[in-house]
Amino acid sequence: MRDDTDPRLLRAFLAVAEELHFTRAAARLFVAQQALSRDIRRLERIWGRDLFQRDTRHVALTPEGHRLLPAVRRALAAHAELGQELGRTPRPGSSQPLIVDVANSTSTGSRLLTQARRKAPGLDFVVHTHSGLAGAVREMMDGRLDISFGRVAGLPPEVQAALQHRLVRFDPLAVLMPTDHKLAALPQVPLAALAGEILYAAAGNQDTTEWTDYAHQLCLGRGIELAPPYPKIEGEVEFSRTMRRHQWLVLTSVSFMSVPGMLSRPLTDPVPLTPVSMVWRRGLRHPGAKALADAARHLGAAEGWLERPLGTWLPEADLRAISRNNDSTEATLDNKK
């Protein structure tokens, strides 16, 4: 028995114990099923006992798994409490940087970070560039990342409960296509014109599950097919080559960076919006968090980021999340010193 077990392995055990299904547990943890299975086998080796009885159809806890489950829950609760207490501890001066994920150089997060640095030059920020909120959240939960930006409604409820967030923007969407595509001549593309097309939305990428979920909701009932799961694509040139080879269109935001050999056209009739929230670890204290929130407030007011004109569309899950939103998170941020 080891007393220094990686909390990630404990989270893997808890997810499988509660779901009793490896696929659902993997989706809940934003990991591949094979990786989850490896973690469970590793935990069983470390502890020297079988935790699950499993075959091709069923997963069940062994008697030892049942016995250890309450202790694992207590250990994870204690680990989360420690993380919150560390997050509440004021960082000494500005010597400890705030670690911020901005996704890419043209994203909402990138613009907010530029503004925050301009307004508060004495603060120190470290930039990460994850491709999606789901991937960023995994690092956030482990204390390796402080703040990210993205669509909160696409995260599982238990993950949302461990975070705090504030809506900063409704981002209108576009479609990225090869320059020789038949729709390229249109200045903007009605959603109905995508019927029969295949739309790439990063299916299979565990870092962007909230984005793939959004695209699935958008395509429902419109005759648009989502591209099948595909390995994560690295680099703009390789991304363009892959999209052109498969003749896939790409769902993206109107502010997405340019890609060689492809062009962007805004979507209309209706205009799909994706809610972008600032997301942070619960209990985080750092003056950089308030600087980013102030930047969101100022840029949002100047550019109408929170306006929702007639003729726009949001998934039902996002509409419900917005209706539950209140000013408590903003008040919390305003108290960060």
CATH code of the domain containing 49: 1.10.10.10
Output the CA–CA distances (angstroms, integers) from residue 205 to 44, 124, 127, 231, 254, in the order listed: 28, 31, 21, 7, 21
Domain finish residue from 255, 272, 289: 272
| DSSP characters over 45-80 | HHHTS--EEE-SS-EEE-HHHHHHHHHHHHHHHHHH
pLDDT at 333: 54
Cβ–Cβ under 8 Å, residues 150 and 107 = no
Q: Count other Cβ atoms within 10 Å, centred on residue 311.
A: 9
Q: In which domain, by residue range, is 239 found?
A: 172-272
pLDDT at 87: 53
In a domain, 300, yes or no: yes
Pair (155, 232) in one structural domain: no
In a domain, 223, yes or no: yes
In a domain, 296, yes or no: yes
Positions in the chain short of pLDDT 50: 1, 88-94, 326-332, 334-337
Report the alpha-carbon distance of residue 174 to residue 336 in Å, rounded. 36
Pair (248, 200) in one structural domain: yes
Helical segments of the chain, H only: 7-19, 22-29, 33-47, 63-88, 108-119, 133-141, 157-161, 209-219, 236-246, 287-303, 316-324, 328-334
Report the alpha-carbon distance of residue 103 to residue 118 in Å, rounded. 20
pLDDT at 113: 94
pLDDT at 250: 95
Report the alpha-carbon distance of residue 307 to residue 131 in Å, rounded. 26
Of 306, 210, 303, nearest to 251 by C-alpha is 210
Pair (155, 291) in one structural domain: yes
In a domain, 1, yes or no: no
In a domain, 2, yes or no: no
Residue in this structure with the two tokens 């984005």, named with its chain if needed = 211
pLDDT at 2: 54
Q: What DSSP state is assigned to residue 31? A: S
- CATH code for the domain of 200: 3.40.190.10
In a domain, 140, yes or no: yes
pLDDT at 110: 92
Domain finish residue from 234, 257, 272: 272
pLDDT at 158: 74
How many folded domains does the chain comprise?
3
pLDDT at 276: 95
Max Cα distance, the chain (Å): 65
Pair (73, 154) in one structural domain: no
Q: What is the pLDDT of residues 175-218, one digit of tens each?
A: 999 998 999 999 999 999 999 999 999 998 888 999 999 999 99
pLDDT at 217: 94
Pair (177, 233) in one structural domain: yes
Report the alpha-carbon distance of residue 222 to residue 272 in Å, rounded. 13
Of 288, 302, 176, nearest to 242 by C-alpha is 176
Domain finish residue from 249, 272, 295: 272
Pair (278, 261) in one structural domain: no
Q: What is the pLDDT of residues 259-300, one digit of tens each?
A: 888 899 999 999 999 999 999 988 788 999 999 999 999 999
Pair (284, 156) in one structural domain: yes
